[in-house]
Chain A
Amino acid sequence: MTRLARVVFAVWVVCLVALVGSALAQDSEPVVSVSDDAVLDVAKSLYCPVCPNEPLDTCQTLACVNWREDIRTQLAQGRSKDEIIADFVARYGERASAIPLDPGLRALSTVTPYVLAVLALGAAVLLITRWRRAGAAPAAQSTTAAASPAGDLDRYRAMLEEDLKR
């Protein structure tokens, strides 16, 4: 087994352990101690409500430590990640979540870039079709050159030279 395979295998084992662990955690009631990893997994999707743009899992202030303990308590009470995030947003506002929970705001933020990209692509397609239509005469020239019976390398050289002319 290569090292990479070992890494992948390890990931798999960790996932499995986590899965079994969480399944067990579901069974045995509140006494379970919630692991740091479970807490940080939730904290990763949250931002510290009082810091300048800092994720809650890495923030080191006392307030953040308290909030992470709060997540632990909520997890121990059996609340899910989504419920905890919703709770934080209700208490501290949308800025506490790494992505807006409000469906309207979420759609606005995630869809707009795609709209912009499609617009840019549309403009480019328009430009390229205009170029294509622009002149058929020089096109015929080039195609004949490209279809010359010379070997691959010669054609490549011709192209390269054309490239380097200016």
Chain B
Amino acid sequence: MDELERIQQQVMNPGAALADAPAKPRLSPGMITLLIGIASVVLVVGIAFVRSQQTQPSDGRAPDFSVTTFDGETVTLSELRGRIVVINFWASWCGPCRAEAPALEAVWRNYADDGVVVLGVAYADDADDSRAFIAEYGLTYPNASDIGTTISKDLYHIQGVPETFIIDQNGDVAQFIYAGVTEQQLTTVIESLLNGGGLS
């Protein structure tokens, strides 16, 4: 059958190169480029996909960063080693952030003497709006703008606000809280960390 077709085609197209011995055509440069192109697209998409699945760190070393607070102080996470740090991502336009602000302030007041630091990081928020928010709730713990959303998006991969990370004395993430927090919730974790116990 194949043979017949080939003969037919030869008869119909005397000029065609089909009559040649079936020498294996080598891969042309164009074909090689195309194959490399396809392979690299698949590879790049694969890597991007793996990266897109990255989520908020819930254990291990907390990504380090440095911010300048609204009061003009510079806070570097790694320099707070040995203390418990509550990092709270928030924004003035976010409803649940308003609900949890008093809880964070209360924790800051109760545990400042124990070396606990509460650090607010304003995500994608206008600085004036942020300041108004801080004033409205009388927040006294350090707060900073996340300029260029590098901390929230590139380091902590937050999906929205509010999200809160509790960092232990060793600089590891002890707890990640996806939604708004309550004073009770924070107190439990902090007490446990202060008593030297990790979280079970």
Contact = CB atoms under 8 A, between A and B. Distances in A.
B191 interface: no
A90 to B, nearest CB: 7
B79 interface: no
Contacts of A50: 91, 123-124, 160
B148 A90 contact: yes
B142 to A, nearest CB: 19
Contact of B93 (A62, A134, A135): A62
A147 interface: no
A157 interface: no
Contact of B124 (A49, A123, A134): A49
Interface string A130-141: 000011011000
A70 B126 CA distance: 8
Nearest to A69: B126
Contacts of B153: 93
| Nearest 6 CB-CB pairings of A with B | A63-B93, A93-B148, A49-B124, A50-B124, A93-B149, A62-B93
A121 B53 CA distance: 37
Interface size class for chain B? 10 to 19
A63 B92 CA distance: 8
Nearest to A91: B147
A119 B129 CA distance: 50
B15 interface: yes
B129 A137 contact: no
A93 B126 contact: no
Contacts of B9: none
Interface string B128-146: 0100000000000000010
Contacts of A91: 126-127, 145, 147-148
Interface of A: 49-50, 61-63, 66-67, 70, 90-93, 95, 123, 126, 134-135, 137-138
Given A123-B30, A138-B15, A90 B126 contact: no
A126 B93 CA distance: 58
17 contacts: A50-B91, A62-B93, A63-B91, A63-B93, A63-B94, A66-B92, A66-B126, A70-B126, A90-B147, A90-B148, A91-B147, A92-B148, A93-B150, A93-B153, A95-B149, A123-B30, A138-B15
Given A123-B30, A138-B15, A49 B93 contact: no
B158 to A, nearest CB: 10
A70 B92 CA distance: 14
Contacts of A61: 93
Nearest to A73: B128
A55 to B, nearest CB: 16
A137 B124 CA distance: 70
Contacts of A135: 15
A69 B138 CA distance: 24
A64 B114 CA distance: 40
A126 B29 CA distance: 12
Contacts of B149: 49, 92-93, 95
A66 B129 contact: yes
Contacts of B123: 50
B112 to A, nearest CB: 30
A95 B124 CA distance: 11
Given A50-B160, A66-B129, 17 more contacts: A49-B124, A50-B123, A50-B124, A63-B91, A63-B93, A63-B94, A63-B124, A66-B92, A66-B126, A70-B126, A90-B147, A91-B127, A92-B149, A93-B148, A93-B149, A93-B150, A138-B15
